[in-house]
Structure 1
Amino acid sequence: MTSFEHDFPFDPAYGRTLDDLLHIPAPAAPDDFAAFWQARYEEARQVATEPQIGPLEDERDGVRIHGVTFTSVGGVRLGGWVALPAEGDAEYGFVIGHGYGGRAEAGPDVPLPLPKAAAILPCVRGMGTRGLRPGIPDQSAGHVLHGIESRDTYVIGDCVADLWCAASALQQLVPGLVADAVPGRVPGPVEVPRLGYLGESFGGGLGALALPWDDRFGAAQLTVPTFGNHPLRLTLPCAGSGEAVRGYFADHPEVTDVLSYFDAATAAAHIELPTLVAAALFDPSVPPPGQFAVHNALAGPRELQVLSAGHFEYDGQADETAELHANRRRFFTEHLGR
């Protein structure tokens, strides 16, 4: 068990050892869980995203970074950034999700995990600076409750769709990222995905919900993913968005019916593509039991990097981050590189 000095009124390690964490399961899925998400995915794929690239904003680490806007479900126009190779054509593409609070720049997500890669870094609806929408709170405690009364109105479902539409926008901007058709072991060609996904915290949880239904992705990396094992999360105090959900649950216990459709661990049981998870032993914002539940449930090839802490500064953090970046490059080279 990892322990740090802190002033939180609860234990951000939640009394779990690594062995405890590795045995936390995913909740059972509602009977129509897959059908619900397949329908949401098909709706998103019908959207004409009409991406538009803005002026050059930065050039570094082998890419040129531009602003970008695109259309998502419900006709919502969102913004973000797109990174394109400074020289040559892109051979790979990444959709990069952000943490709660959005993003103000493309900054720490560049350089990309692979050379000759492009990426889209969307701001999902409600999140700054380029996803702000009237009526949707831009703070995590309000955002995570927006529309939570119904599975059909919950903002988290629309944020997942924003990631799918961002992938469509990137493929439209960089046509070479459409999957290759190559001979397979069975008669006929097999499509080889050209996209990877990166997501941390909020973006990790959204990614887990998005990935099972979208075969355009060939590999993913989720760091301290949220939304894992809601029934357990509701029992664990935290300093993140989960505390707002816990407060809502206290007055509205029926919300568990909605949350069961938005459980990242439940969704992970449907993820068959190779996935690297970085999960923390100590995390005041995203309880580690939920993070590990996502990893433990993965149905396909999986790798785990254990972090000492998440959402918390600590000695040795820079070294662990450098190790994670090296693992990320190696992982995507093995599973997405050609």
Structure 2
Amino acid sequence: MKINRLSRSTGVSHHPFPFDPAYGLDLDGLLRVGAPDNAPEDFAEFWQGLYRRALATPVEPRLGARTGATADGLDVFEVSFTSLDGVRIGGWVVAPADGAVERGFVVGHGYGGRDAPDPRLPAPRAAGIYFVARGLPTKTLLPGVPSEAAGHVLHGVESRDASIIGGCVADIWCAATALTELFPGAARRLDYSGVSFGGGTGALALPWDERFTAAHLVVPTFGNHPLRVTLECVGSGAAVRERYLQDPRVLEVLAYFDAATAARHVRIPVQAVPALFDPSVPPPGQFAVVNSLAGPVDARVATAGHFMDYPEFEQEMRGLDRAMREFFAE
């Protein structure tokens, strides 16, 4: 694994949290965190079966209204498609106005969902699909499914077959199918990019789908659940931890949705961006995912995730953007 620091920051000096979002670990300590030892014996079988179901789903993609254009010649359209179990997924597509599509990007999002696409793509002559995972704002709200992170992450957690996380991973696969049906040239090279929630679901999705060539995962969540539930945090992780403290048996289901376990099966090149400090996604869980990736890894270590109040933030984001573009240009 190739490791680079995005900056030479000495770390976050001030924060408002009643706990240590660095969890007492430096980079050397974080690089020793791995996937949990007790993965379900049928982990791969479960995910391969879910993937086959998703791949057999008629996605019926529909382009909606053209909502804008960018200075570099990209058109933006609303899009919808059908995912696993008949759930209609909303989002946006960004594509060259001249129709010259030679590659594609499936772009995940954080636990806040998304209300607009990022009109930039990390490579030229590409089309990108900015889908919104089931149950999340603004495009794929569902009756009976909590749209806030704390409720969403626990929806269906009583069973591996009912957990909404499995459906959200299937949304990635169906988004890939929708994009390549709308723009066949996108299938020539299909890549994935996801941050936080999208980083964790991406790690869960990538091992089973040979259509993806490379991936970019930023502060990925869902890594090493047995460790993660012992760490105080905010956001969706806090809800999972509280549920575990009430009923430790929930780990039996969470084991099927462990991004670090899945990372052991990811063999494509990945540019990973774990953080040393993160109040929402504890860094030990992030590094568990990154350290477990089985293929070539370009790790770009950030000072902090889900936290912007430190001097080097803007510098690191510019460096990350450059690194991502260089990675996807290879």
Pick from 259, 266, 272 the counterpart of residue 261 of structure 2.
266
**2:148 counterpart (133, 139, 143):** 139
What is the CA deviation profile of residues 54-79 of structure 1, one whole-angstrom value per residue up to 9, with x for unaligned ones? 11101113310100000001111110
Query: Separation in 2 of the partners of 1:58 and 1:289?
Result: 40
Contact 1:3-1:13 at 8 Å conserved across structures: no
Equivalent position SS for 2:65: strand
Contact preservation (8 Å) 1:68, 1:81: yes
**Structure 1 residue 62 and structure 2 residue 73: aligned?**
yes
Provide the residue aligned with 1:90 in structure 2.
Answer: 101
Q: Which amino acid aligns with 1:238?
A: C
- Where do residues 88-237 of structure 1 align in structure 2 (5 Å cutoff)? 88-106=99-117, 109-179=118-188, 194-237=189-232
Q: Which residue does 2:18 correspond to in 1?
A: 9
* 1:75 corresponds to which of 66, 81, 86: 86
Q: Normalising to structure 2: TM-score of the pair?
A: 0.95
Aligned to 1:27: 36
Deviation string for 1:258-299 (max 9, x for gaps)?
Answer: 011100111000000000001110110110111111110000
Contact (CA 8 Å) 2:222, 2:260: kept in 1 or not?
yes
Of 284, 293, 298, the match for 2:288: 293
State the Cα RMSD in Å.
0.9
What is the aligned length? 318
In 2, Cα distance between equivalents of 1:201 and 1:110: 20
Q: Deviations over 1:139-194 (max 9, x none)?
A: 00000000000000000000000110000000100112234xxxxxxxxxxxxxx1
- Aligned twin of 2:251: 256
**Alignment counterpart, residue 311 of structure 1, candidates 300, 306, 315:** 306
- Equivalent-residue separation in structure 2 for 1:24 and 1:89 (angstroms): 43
Whether contact under 8 Å (1:82, 1:120) holds in the other structure is: yes
Instruction: Tell me the residue number matched to 2:323.
Output: 327
2:327 maps to a residue whose letter is F
Contact 2:54 2:84 in 1 (8 A): yes
Q: Which runs of 4+ in 1 moved over 6 A?
A: none
Q: 1: distance between equivalents of 2:45 and 2:248?
A: 24
Name the CA distance, whole Å, in 1 between partners of 2:73 and 2:235.
35
2:41 aligned with 1:45, yes or no? no
Tell me how far 1:101 sits from its aligned partner: 1.3
Paired residue for 2:5?
Answer: none
Cα contact 1:2–1:13 (8 A) shared by 2: no
User: Residues of 2 paired with 1:18 and 1:250: CA distance?
Assistant: 29
Answer with 29-38 or 55-64: which moved more: 55-64
Distance 1:206 1:4 in 2: 31
Specify the code of the residue in structure 2 equivalent to 1:269: R
> Within 2, Cα distance between the matches of 1:110 and 1:53?
16
Query: How far has the Cα of 1:315 moved from its partner?
Result: 1.4
User: Cα offset for 1:253?
Assistant: 0.8
Give the residue type in structure 2 aligned to 1:10: F
Q: Distance in 2 between matches of 1:17 and 1:102?
A: 31
Query: Relative CO higher for 1 or 2, CA cutoff 8 Å, sep ≥ 6?
Result: 2
- Give me the whole-angstrom Cα distance separating, in 2, the residues matched to 1:309 and 1:4: 11
> 2:107·2:131 contact (CA, 8 Å) conserved in 1?
yes
